[in-house]
Structure 1
Amino acid sequence: MRQTWRWFGPKDLCSIDDITQVGAQGVVSALHHVPNGAVWTTEEIAKRHEEIATRRDGTASGLSWDVVESLPVSEDIKKQNNDWRGHIENYKLSMRNLADSGIEVICYNFMPVLDWTRTDLQWSVPNGGSCMRFDIHDFAAFDIHILQRNGAGADYTNAIADEAGRRAAALDEAGKKQLARNVTMGLPGSTESMSLDDVRAHLSEYAGISRERLQANFVDFLEAIIPLAEDLGLRFCCHPDDPPFALLGLPRVMSTEADYAYILDAVDSPANGVTLCSGSLGARPDNDLPGMMERLGDKVHFLHLRNVKRDNDAIVGSFYEAEHLAGDTDMVALIAAVLREERKRKAAGRKDHSIPMRPDHGQDILDDLGRRSQPGYPTIGRMKGLAELRGVMTALEHQLVQL
């Protein structure tokens, strides 16, 4: 596996100099300042390449921009609304410009409105650190009592709705604002959240879009871009829903292995693949991560390795971001499955036999605490995760283990 590191650009508190010290081999980045639907120009792409390749003192970093995460799919494309066809044409121009710059792997998602959802961004763990947490009761308190979405109560069990009512009643105005801010923070590359009116406006536009309709729109999008991706030598890989179940009455189409199988079969191409995120998918007890790697492995183009600990085995339930080797996903078994897939690819002569991975998320520990970094992306917590993952990889690839 090629070890990479996510970088949000020059404003990221983790600098390129820091990334060289943690031992990453490449960088995962995006042009977060470019509005969704607009073209990524050759000039802006070249600027990001240069920023990654250069340390503060002007010397070469030795790092390269290996994976784009994400080239965002606009809400208009997802809904097939307004100038969605124009957005697809802009998307194709961005693809051409990225391919011309040497990029081969592009990660994206097809989640409506929010790219991830948590209820607590600094949940305390026993060792004194903190992590992100999704609590279904707190989320229901937001949905039913703060956002006051029509019909929200019917989406939860009576037990969850009752507890949500108790928690909402215990919140003062500051607590309600903080919970709303946490829930609506899921805009990658941003530290801003949407207002409640913004959320309501987005939800109203999805009111007539069923899961089947969103799935069909997704296939239309892929049929438009994947032939070009093949021509350009690009590998596209869709990130799963986070968390992998329906929220706010919005449809979700990439939460399970069956969802991936449907999309991969609908547009069958080496360029149409998977971002296997063990944390997002691992929030559902019915997602078998090592098994998914075995069955979908030839289409896995990118790996997010992180772990979550679920409160119980409910499909729609609470969880927190655990240490990389300490959650409910058997990370050793997953990495072993990845290494087997890489060996198969190498034997078959595939150019992409080394799959890029990054240590996704991490707990805030030591100097991470209080730094106000991008939620989920502490420097030291991720460095610890990468070291743990690298140790597993090194052990499993040792000749004594392979014999």
Structure 2
Amino acid sequence: MRQTWRWFGPKDLCSIDDITQVGAEGVVSALHHVPNGVIWTPEEIAKRKREIATRKDGSPSGLTWDVVESLPVSEDIKKQKNDWREHIANYKVSLRHLADAGIEVICYNFMPVLDWTRTDLRYTVANGASCMRFDINDFAAFDIHVLERPGAGADYTNAIADEAGRRFAELDEEGRKQLARNVTMGLPGSTESMTLDDVREHLAEYGNISRDLLRQHFVDFLSEVVPVAEDLGLRMCCHPDDPPFSLLGLPRVMSTEADYTYIMDAVSSPANGMTLCSGSLGARPDNDLPGMMERLGPKVHFLHLRNVKRDSDDIMGSFYEAEHLDGDTDMVALIAAIVREEKRRRDEGRADHSIPMRPDHGQDILDDLGRRSQPGYPTIGRMKGLAELRGVFRTLEHGELGL
């Protein structure tokens, strides 16, 4: 695995100097300040590359921009409304500019409205660390009582709806606003956020879009951009739904192994692949992460390694973000499958035999607790995770190679 680190740009509390010290080999970044649907220019791409390559004192960092995360797919494209054709044309131009800059791996997602969702961004665990949490009862309180989505109560069991009502009643006005902010936070690092009215407007526009139709829109998008990516030598990799089940009555189309198989078969190309995020997929108990890596491995272009602890085995349930080697995903078994896939690629002579990986998220520990970094992206917590993952990987790699 090529060990990378997510960086949100110069405003990130974790600096390029910090990243060189934690032992990462490359950087995962994006032009978060560019609005969705707008072309990423060569000048802005080159500027970000220079920022990554330079320490505070002006000396070379030795780091490169290895993965784009994310080149966002606009809501217009997902809904095929308004300026969606222009946005696809702009997406193709951005891909060309990224290829010209030598960046080969492009991560994105196809989640409608809410790109990822948590109800608590600073949940305290038993040892005093904090992490992000999704609580289905709190989400239902938001959906039914804060957003007041018509018919929302019917999407939950009676027990969840009753508990949601009780929790909402216990929240004061600031608590209700904070819950809404947590749920609608949007993509990490993004300058775009949504008000409740924005969410309601999007939901109204998605009203007639079924799961099958959204998946067809996804295939339509890929049919346009994947041939361009393949010609440019790029590897596109879709991030799974987070969490991997329907929210707000919206369809979701990248939550299971079957979802990925369908999409990668529908637009078959070495450029159409997968971001295997063990945390997002692991929030769903019927997802077999080591097995998915074994079966879909040739199309895995990017790895997010993190773990979650589920409250139950319900498909639509609550969870919090655990330490990287704890939680409900067998991380050692998953990394063993990654090691086998990389060996297979080396034996085949594939240039992309070393799959870029980043320690995804992390718990706020030690000095992280006072820094108030981007939720899910503490420096020390991620460094701890990277060290643990690196240790497992090197041990298993030695065994696989007979060392």
Question: What TM-score, normalized by structure 1, do the two folds share?
Answer: 0.98
CA distance in 1, matches of 2:398, 2:187: 40
Equivalent position SS for 2:370? coil
Is the 2:244–2:254 contact (alpha carbons within 8 Å) kept by the matching residues of 1? yes
The alpha-carbon deviation at position 202 of structure 1 amounts to: 1.2
CA distance in 2, matches of 1:45, 1:180: 33
Aligned AA (1:84) = W
CA distance in 2, matches of 1:370, 1:185: 21
Is the 1:305–1:358 contact (alpha carbons within 8 Å) kept by the matching residues of 2? yes
Aligned AA (2:392) = V
Is 1:91 equivalent to 2:59 in the alignment?
no
Equivalent position SS for 1:370? helix
CA distance in 2, matches of 1:394, 1:352: 19
Is 1:226 equivalent to 2:226 in the alignment?
yes
CA distance in 1, matches of 2:88, 2:279: 29
Aligned AA (1:73) = V
Equivalent position SS for 1:17? helix
Q: Deviations over 1:84-117 (max 9, x none)?
A: 1111110010000000000010000000111110
Aligned AA (1:352) = D
The alpha-carbon deviation at position 400 of structure 1 amounts to: 8.7
Q: What residue is the counterpart of 1:45 in the other structure?
A: 45
| Identity over aligned pairs, percent | 82
Compared CA separation, residues 170 and 223, structure 1 to 2 (3 A): same
Aligned AA (2:47) = K
Q: What residue is the counterpart of 2:255 in the other structure?
A: 255
CA distance in 1, matches of 2:337, 2:399: 17
Deviates most, 163-172 or 55-64: 163-172
CA distance in 2, matches of 1:114, 1:77: 15
Q: What residue is the counterpart of 2:308 in the other structure?
A: 308
CA distance in 2, matches of 1:363, 1:194: 26
Q: What residue is the counterpart of 2:123 in the other structure?
A: 123
CA distance in 1, matches of 2:33, 2:400: 48
CA distance in 1, matches of 2:356, 2:399: 22
Is the 1:303–1:355 contact (alpha carbons within 8 Å) kept by the matching residues of 2? yes
CA distance in 2, matches of 1:185, 1:166: 24
Aligned AA (1:214) = L
Q: What residue is the counterpart of 2:292 in the other structure?
A: 292
The alpha-carbon deviation at position 192 of structure 1 amounts to: 7.0
Is 1:217 equivalent to 2:217 in the alignment?
yes
Equivalent position SS for 1:320? strand
Q: What residue is the counterpart of 1:104 in the other structure?
A: 104
Deviates most, 287-296 or 204-213: 204-213
CA distance in 1, matches of 2:363, 2:204: 35
Is the 1:240–1:280 contact (alpha carbons within 8 Å) kept by the matching residues of 2? yes
Compared CA separation, residues 342 and 400, structure 1 to 2 (3 A): closer
Is the 2:35–2:192 contact (alpha carbons within 8 Å) kept by the matching residues of 1? no
Q: What residue is the counterpart of 1:82 in the other structure?
A: 82
Deviates most, 228-237 or 367-376: 367-376
Q: What residue is the counterpart of 1:154 in the other structure?
A: 154
Q: What residue is the counterpart of 2:318 in the other structure?
A: 318
Is the 1:191–1:374 contact (alpha carbons within 8 Å) kept by the matching residues of 2? no
Q: What residue is the counterpart of 1:203 in the other structure?
A: 203
Unmatched 5+ stretches in structure 1:
none
Question: What TM-score, normalized by structure 2, do the two folds share?
Answer: 0.98
Equivalent position SS for 2:107? strand
